[in-house]
């Protein structure tokens, strides 16, 4: 349904005029969305004088009316059909926005207005709608980032830095905290949330209001998946298409070689995230004692916050003592549900998508075989070498972690627990250093062997393309395979009947070297800024920051300004990757058309 309006007899002039109208419409909707979001932040973040609230509410309603009208104009002038899901959504959105503005202006009478506001939980639905509108326009704008002609690596890094400073500004709002917050503490908290680390210098439960906790939750949700994944998906959905530049630009973020499958891959990533977080939130809600909460809403928010934090491997908690809090430390079923979400979030989206294709192939082949449409055809090597390497390495590290924890903690954190309690605590103790950051025990009571193993597990971290950080499981596996190949006298590295490329080996070596240098420099600087702190505690803190784990032996709040700045830089480096930063700042060399004579260097 495209409205054929003719303002001029000349078709070319008519088309040009409509294009100008659409450009004005886009600008009006963008500016109105930004302005409405700014007013919303002003209302939520500050205590407002009633006189100012009347004026800002009028402007807020005007913005809603302009956005609703703008979407309606776009549908009438541009869309060829009203049946696509995006167009139906925009029509409903425009109607809802216009009606909301009229309701807020009280044009339907006091009784009707009060009834509608009561049904929509007063202004919560409207506020959520404005946030969604702002995000939609931001997503559309993000698709133009390729016009800056910057490398994907640099844009990836800048997106995290920008999000960190936006989060710092939001956490600095008066209504985000229960008391005053310094800029450095707001910056540290925002960096920790965006980099899904979980290290805190303030008590998330006591020092932040509900508004502040929601901001932190949004920051680690976006930081876990990457802001470019979010904005690219919603930008395409509401814009309706990708340019070829967009496709080539975005594919580097999601490891998708087929540019025609970019939107499908993004949809699978978002769907898997929502599904796992939803199931985990349900399990947490089911396995927690309602007596520990002030109401059902409080319990729901607790469940959602910890489900997102677990899947994103963020480690943030709304409990002052983490999951070791009295009333939660023995909720072993909840601990196992969180541990499962941590593993699924840290396994990596490439692995998830690979197994999705494998399961889909099995189901489709079986159904066709049962219906007699065609015989089942076996497709060899549906799971890639990367997938198998990641899964095997993850499994081995989890088993090693559990065995060591079970042995070394018998007379420490496991002492006095039931059999099931020991099992759940051991499993959780092996999972949480894999960039998760939750604790179900008092970290200061851990045995020294456990702390040393934790350093090793934190250093390796999660898997590539996941919500976690660290060296990455595949990097460690490639390094070990290369070591065994050299020891056995092989001239190449082979695994699963495949030969690993020299580029893979070089990248693994570079990442390991850079990680050791960054962590070593971090420990050195922290010991300069805070020489009174124990060496083992400082090393644990730096390893935790680099691998975006969030576990601590209790020194984070005692750190000086210099140490906090160092940890923030390390958290950012650990989240975006050392090699990504190096690629972004070092000029790429073109094809080398020469070759020097080879010569050996003594290694041992």
**What is the Cα–Cα distance from 221 to 167, expressed in whole angstroms?**
12
Residue (of 431, 580, 447) closest to 514 by Cα position: 580
pTM to 2 decimal places: 0.86
Percent of the chain with pLDDT over 90: 30
Q: Name the least confident of 5-9, 177-181, 433-437.
A: 5-9
The pLDDT score that the predictor gives to residue 225 is 80
Helix, strand or coil for residue 253?
A: helix
Residue 177, strand partner residues: 208
**Which one has a higher pLDDT value, 592 or 509?**
509
pLDDT tens, position by position, 552-563: 888 888 899 999
Is the distance from CB of 188 to CB of 564 less than 8 angstroms? yes
Is the distance from CB of 226 to CB of 217 less than 8 angstroms? no
**What is the Cα–Cα distance from 241 to 263, expressed in whole angstroms?**
9
Q: Does the pLDDT value for residue 284 go beyond 80?
A: yes
The pLDDT score that the predictor gives to residue 227 is 66
**What is the Cα–Cα distance from 251 to 350, expressed in whole angstroms?**
13
Tokens representing residue 338 in the block: 């969180």
Q: Does the pLDDT value for residue 2 go beyond 70?
A: no
pLDDT tens, position by position, 287-332: 998 888 888 889 999 999 999 999 998 889 999 888 988 889 889 9
Residue (of 230, 237, 236, 238) closest to 71 by Cα position: 238
Sign of the alpha-carbon dihedral angle for 150, 151, 156, 161 = negative
Residue 498, strand partner residues: 495
The pLDDT score that the predictor gives to residue 425 is 94
The beta strands (E) that lie in 479-604 are given as 494-495, 498-499
Query: What's the pLDDT band for 538 if we cut at 50, 70, 90?
Result: very high
Mean pLDDT along residues 222-240: 67
Tokens representing residue 138 in the block: 């931001």
Q: Does the pLDDT value for residue 382 go beyond 80?
A: no
Residue (of 239, 245, 237, 243) closest to 266 by Cα position: 237
**What is the Cα–Cα distance from 43 to 25, expressed in whole angstroms?**
27
Mean pLDDT along residues 594-600: 80
Query: What's the pLDDT band for 249 if we cut at 50, 70, 90?
Result: low
Widest distance between CA atoms in the chain: 89
Secondary structure of 266-307 in the HEC alphabet? HHHHHHHHHHHHHHHHHHHHHHCCHHHCCCHHHHHHHHHHHH
Q: Which CA distances in Å does 22 have to 7, 74, 96, 271, 505?
A: 14, 7, 21, 32, 52
Residue (of 283, 277, 140) closest to 221 by Cα position: 277
**What is the Cα–Cα distance from 169 to 153, expressed in whole angstroms?**
25
Query: What's the pLDDT band for 422 if we cut at 50, 70, 90?
Result: very high
Mean pLDDT along residues 472-479: 90
Q: List, as own/partner pairs, every contact residues 323-328 make where C-beta atoms lie below 8 angstroms and the sequence separation is at least 24, other chains included.
A: 323/438, 323/439, 323/440, 324/439, 324/440, 324/441, 324/442, 327/289, 327/291, 327/292, 328/288, 328/292
Q: Which CA distances in Å does 165 have to 169, 186, 189, 417, 556?
A: 6, 9, 11, 44, 21
How confident is the prediction for the chain on average, in pLDDT?
Answer: 82
**What is the Cα–Cα distance from 420 to 319, expressed in whole angstroms?**
23
Residue (of 338, 341, 463, 455) closest to 393 by Cα position: 463
Is the distance from CB of 345 to CB of 224 less than 8 angstroms? yes
Label residue 421 exposed, middle or buried (CB < 10 Å: 0-12, 13-18, 19+): middle
Is the distance from CB of 188 to CB of 567 less than 8 angstroms? yes
Is the distance from CB of 190 to CB of 167 less than 8 angstroms? yes
Label residue 365 exposed, middle or buried (CB < 10 Å: 0-12, 13-18, 19+): middle
Residue (of 425, 382, 419) closest to 402 by Cα position: 425
Secondary structure of 295-348 in the HEC alphabet? CHHHHHHHHHHHHHHHHCCCCCCCCCCHHHCCCCCCCHHHHHHHHHHHHHHHCC
Tokens 């260097």 belong to 601
Angle at 130 between CA 277 and CA 280, to 5 degrees: 5
């Amino acid at each position: 349904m495209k409205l054929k309006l003719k303002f001029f007899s000349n078709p070319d002039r008519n088309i040009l005029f409509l294009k100008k109208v659409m450009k004005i419409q886009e600008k009006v909707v963008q500016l109105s969305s930004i302005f409405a979001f700014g007013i919303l932040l002003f209302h939520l973040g500050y205590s407002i004088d009633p006189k100012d609230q009347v004026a800002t509410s009028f402007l807020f309603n005007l913005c809603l009316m302009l956005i609703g009208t703008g979407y309606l104009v776009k549908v009438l002038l541009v869309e060829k059909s009203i049946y696509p899901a995006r167009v139906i959504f925009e029509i409903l959105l425009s109607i809802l926005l216009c009606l909301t503005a009229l309701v807020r202006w009280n044009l339907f009478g006091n009784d009707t207005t009060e009834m509608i506001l009561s049904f929509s939980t007063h202004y919560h639905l409207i506020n959520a709608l404005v946030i969604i509108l702002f995000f939609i326009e931001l997503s559309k704008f993000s698709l133009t980032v390729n016009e800056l002609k910057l490398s994907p690596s640099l844009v990836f890094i800048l997106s995290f830095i920008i999000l960190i400073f936006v989060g710092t500004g939001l956490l600095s709002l008066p209504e985000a905290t229960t008391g005053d917050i310094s800029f450095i503490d707001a910056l540290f908290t925002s960096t920790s949330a965006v980099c899904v680390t979980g290290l805190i210098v303030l008590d998330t439960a006591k020092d932040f209001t509900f508004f502040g906790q929601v901001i932190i939750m949004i920051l680690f949700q976006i930081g876990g998946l990457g802001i470019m994944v979010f904005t690219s998906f919603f930008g395409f959905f509401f814009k309706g298409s990708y340019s070829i530049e967009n496709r080539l630009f975005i594919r580097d973020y999601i490891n998708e070689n087929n540019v025609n499958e970019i939107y499908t891959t993004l949809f699978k990533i978002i769907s898997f995230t929502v599904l796992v977080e939803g199931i985990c939130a349900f399990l947490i809600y089911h396995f927690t004692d309602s007596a520990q909460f002030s109401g059902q809403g409080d319990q729901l928010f607790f469940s959602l916050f910890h489900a997102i934090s677990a899947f994103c491997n963020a480690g943030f908690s709304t409990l002052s003592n983490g999951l070791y809090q009295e009333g939660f430390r023995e909720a072993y079923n909840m601990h196992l549900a969180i541990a499962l979400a941590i593993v699924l979030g840290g396994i990596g989206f490439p692995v998830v998508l690979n197994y999705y294709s494998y399961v889909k192939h099995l189901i489709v082949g079986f159904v066709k075989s049962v219906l007699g449409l065609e015989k089942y055809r076996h497709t060899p090597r549906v799971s890639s070498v990367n997938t198998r390497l990641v899964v095997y390495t993850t499994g081995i590290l989890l088993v090693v972690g559990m065995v060591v924890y079970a042995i070394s903690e018998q007379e420490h954190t496991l002492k006095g627990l039931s059999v099931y309690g020991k099992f759940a605590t051991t499993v959780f103790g092996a999972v949480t250093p894999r960039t998760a950051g939750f604790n179900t025990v008092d970290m200061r009571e851990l045995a020294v062997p456990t702390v040393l193993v934790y350093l090793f597990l934190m250093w390796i971290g999660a898997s590539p393309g996941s919500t976690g950080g660290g060296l990455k499981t595949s990097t460690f596996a490639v390094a070990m395979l290369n070591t065994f190949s050299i020891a056995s006298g092989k001239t190449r590295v082979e695994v699963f009947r495949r030969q690993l490329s020299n580029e893979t080996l070089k990248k693994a070596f570079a990442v390991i070297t850079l990680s050791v240098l960054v962590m070593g420099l971090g420990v050195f600087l922290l010991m300069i800024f805070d020489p009174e702190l124990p060496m083992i505690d400082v090393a644990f803190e730096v390893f935790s920051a680099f691998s975006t784990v969030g576990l601590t032996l209790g020194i984070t709040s005692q750190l000086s300004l210099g140490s906090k700045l160092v940890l923030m830089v390390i958290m950012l480096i650990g989240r975006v990757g050392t090699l990504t930063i190096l690629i972004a700042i070092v000029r790429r060399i073109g094809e080398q058309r020469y070759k020097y004579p080879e010569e050996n260097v003594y290694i041992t």
